[in-house]
Structure 1
Amino acid sequence: MELPKLAIAALGGTVSMQSTQDGQGVVPAVSGEALLNTVPELNVLARATVETFGLLPSASLDFEYLLNVLDWANAQISRGVAAVIIIQGTDTLEESATFFDYLWAHDEPLVLTGAMRSAMQAGADGPANLLDAGRVALAACSRGRGAQVVINGEIHRANSVRKVDSMAMHAFASPLTGPAGLLVESAPRYFQPPVARHVLPMPQDTLPKIALLEASLGADSMLLDKIVESGYDGLVIAGFGAGHVSAHWAEVIEGIARHIPVIIATRTGCGATAQATYGFAGSEIDLTRKGAVMAGFLCPRKARILLWLLVACRQQAQLVKCLAESTP
């Protein structure tokens, strides 16, 4: 029987890093081809091909770069591949996964993975994560699930996964729901069937600018005051608790919301913003009256991804609907 085709894009990240100078730290150096050669088991499962897009730390990725990767991934599907894997750094893995998930219109799986240990470290996890990603991507039960993150033996939905530890092996979690599935004896085991997804049109405009600011105790509004005049097309606030800001920030946000969309999320790392619980100045009720939109379960970083995409494809009117559908 002919093996399925599997396309892999390597973007860089810790999985590709080695030390090139003693005492200077690790840097991206290992190509996707070299990484694939460390996982011979993958060639037993599929006819795998890899393209090295670049050797970048994921902090240096941007939306335009990801759109180019998406164009490549869409082309691979049109050529008959069974699934696509994207390997990148973990610093922005949750954001990339969310970005791709909103735009991935295929039933074929799109799986993202990376590593917490560099290629030169003992016990490097990159090869194991790539093999697990291949097992998930090629499984029939993975179809129709959009973009997913596979790392450390776990499968996470794009809109739920968060990086919750800076350097530990168990750096990724889905705080509210837990993982969507696990690798058990080398096979993916999902806990729930696929859920409906809201796929957005491809961006049409030049790349918009969406600001993300975090509320903090006693914070001034110098940056907030200049959001509109600085040319931003949208604003996300990582608010206190259930989606709150100071009374002064609320006054400034009211003026901003007359010009650009404003989303209020929670900075806590878990849970949803409230809708109708608190009524003080700067509360969710007050902010909604002032024209802001509450993010619900979507974290600030993912809310920024959503708003960027909606502005870029001229779908701002869908913001409230999309936020309501972004449940874990």
Structure 2
Amino acid sequence: MRSKITILLILVSMGSFAQKKANVVILATGGTIAGAASTGVQSGYTSGQVTIDAMVNAVPDITKLANIKGEQISNVGSQDMSFEIMLKLAKRIAELTQQGGLDGIVITHGTDTMEETAYFLNLVCKTDIPIVLVGSMRPSTAVSADGPLNLYNAVAVAADPNAKKRGVMLVMNDWIHSAQSLTKVSTTAVQTFMSPLNGLIGISNYGTNEFYRFPFNKYGSQSEFSVDNVAKLPRVDIIYADVDLPADLIDASVEKGAKGIVIAGVGNGNMNKAGMEACERAVKKGVVVVRSSRVVTGNVGRNVEVDDDKMGFVASYDHNPQKSRILLSVALLKQRSNADMQKIFYEY
């Protein structure tokens, strides 16, 4: 009799464990996913019009995936995303994870600068729980709005124990990207994000997830970076290289107080002679110069076409200009040698 009762208690315990839902917090920042238009069939809209509570309530069965709490961090279009908001996000994530009892975090965000916020959080958030960014390419009022299913899948990934220790991810249009590899490739298509160099982390199909890999470089709890006591990041400018690049753009950046300059170079991070000489002048004044590329795919190697050792430049490897700017901004919080800075761009 006692053994039967014991078995019954075990079964009841197993059943309650199986029904236990994850705890997920959604931090809302705005973007197209919170956008609205006057009709469902127009391209024009205004970002950041819908609150997080309204978004969650518009997604059928999302609360079956997890216990959800929403917080409005900001409500802006991602063109107005700022380091101030990004720091606020990072510090709020640190608070939430230190409180315990949290299984995952979702961040709603506009797509235009989503890869920058995702990569920033991947560098500075010291947690193994899933952090998932999500957005949409169509406003909430559009016919065939993509936001509701994207949000549903994002919560499913954040609540999934298999998503742990994979760093910051982005979930859109059924694809799960790593913050390290994703980039926006279309101005209008719903499949706007690609991970052209390293491939996807996995897929999420109506809340059912399949994971392929972990990120390759350092991130999360492995990262050396911290913004706990940081109120402002150093200025880093991106200069776009093209035919007859005016050297005075680089000089002006230095004069305006930039601590770092990222060159969105041609080909393998190259630039004309005038630009090269201006960058050399910048290095001599203590400005860190990183050579990235305006080309969508491929690595910018050290000492390939440019003598980085002689000129004191840093090669971005697989970091595009916008991610190079994020990494350099964070790395400049500490004094580093050129060799140390190059190592960071290789490891992260």
Instruction: Provide the rounded CA distance (Å) in 1 between the counterparts of 2:53 and 2:272.
Output: 51
Q: Give the Å deviation of 1:300.
A: 0.8
Q: 1:270 to 1:114 in 2, by over 3 A?
A: same
1:74-223 maps to which residues of 2 (within 5 A)? 74-79=94-99, 80-184=101-205, 186-193=207-214, 195=216, 197-198=218-219, 199=223, 200-202=225-227, 204=230, 206-223=232-249
Read off the aligned partner of 1:321 and give its amino acid letter: K
Unmatched segments (≥5 aa) in structure 2? 1-15
Q: Which residue of 2 aligns with 1:270?
A: 297
Question: Matched residues in 1 for 2:54 and 2:150: separation?
Answer: 15
| TM norm structure 2 | 0.87
Within 5 Å, give how 1:3-42 maps onto structure 2: 3-19=21-37, 25-27=44-46, 28-42=48-62
Structure 1 portions without partners, runs of 5+: 279-283
The equivalent of 2:256 in structure 1 is 230
Aligned length: 319
Structure 2 CA distance for partners of 1:205 and 1:186, relative to 1, 3 Å = closer
Larger radius of gyration: 2
Equivalent residue number for residue 63 of structure 2: 43
1:275 aligned counterpart, secondary structure: coil
- CA distance in structure 1 between the partners assigned to 2:280 and 2:293 by the alignment: 18
Per-residue CA deviation, residues 11-41 of structure 1 (Å, 9 max, x unaligned), is 1110111125998931121100000001232
Q: Which moved more, 1:75-84 or 1:14-23?
A: 14-23
AA in 2 matched with 1:275: R
CA distance in 1, matches of 2:184, 2:43: 26
CA drift of 1:315 comes to 5.2
- Offset at residue 185 of structure 1 (A): 6.0
Deviations 1:227-251 (A, max 9, x none): 2221111110011101111111111
Q: Answer yes or no: is 1:58 the counterpart of 2:85.
A: no
Change (3 A) 1:4 1:321: same
CA separation in 2, counterparts of 1:16 and 1:309?
Answer: 29
Which of 301, 321, 324 aligns to 2:343? It is 321
- Which of 288, 293, 297 in structure 2 is aligned with 1:261? 288
Distance apart, 1:8 and its partner CA: 0.2
Structure 2: how far apart are the matches of 1:10 and 1:205? 21
When you count helix as a share of all residues, which structure comes out higher? 2
For residue 15 of structure 1, give the secondary structure of its aligned residue in structure 2: helix
> Structure 1: how far apart are the matches of 2:122 and 2:65?
25
SS at match of 1:156: strand
Task: State the Cα distance separating 1:194 from its structure 2 match.
Answer: 5.2
TM-score w.r.t. the length of structure 1 is 0.92
- What CA distance in whole angstroms lies between the structure 2 residues aligned with 1:246 and 1:196? 32
Identity of aligned residues (%): 29
> SS of 1:19's equivalent?
coil
In the alignment, structure 1 residue 69 sits paired with structure 2 residue 89: yes
Mark the CA change 1:316 to 1:222 in structure 2 (over 3 Å): closer, same or farther. Answer: same
CA spacing shift, 1:302–1:196, aligned 2, 3 Å: closer
